[in-house]
Structure 1
Amino acid sequence: MMTLLFALFLVAMLFAVYNKRSLAIYSFALSLVISIFWFSHHASDTLAILL
């Protein structure tokens, strides 16, 4: 999943380099939304620590 996030950010950067402003903004926003979802998925998991 992390590879997908990095690939989406790479696509956003490539759009920005090739002056595709609207596509760069949309792909960057999509990458951020997926990153936030992925963070909340992992941050809400309980830790399996036995003390």
Structure 2
Amino acid sequence: MMSLLFLLVFVAMLCAFTGIKGASYIIFAITVVLGLYWFHHHATDPLSILL
């Protein structure tokens, strides 16, 4: 999943460099939403550590 997030940021940067700023903003916004979802998934996941 993390590699997908980095790939989306890379695609957003490519769009911004080539002048397709609308698509760049949309892809970056999707990346932020997916990153927040991924963080929430890991932050609320119970740890299975037996001490």
Runs of 4+ in 1 over 6 A off after TM superposition: none
> Structure 2: how far apart are the matches of 1:45 and 1:33?
18
Paired residue for 2:7?
A: 7
> Structure 2: how far apart are the matches of 1:6 and 1:21?
18
> Structure 2: how far apart are the matches of 1:50 and 1:5?
32
Under a length normalisation based on structure 1, what TM-score does the superposition of the two structures give?
0.92
Under a length normalisation based on structure 2, what TM-score does the superposition of the two structures give?
0.92
> Structure 1: how far apart are the matches of 2:32 and 2:47?
25
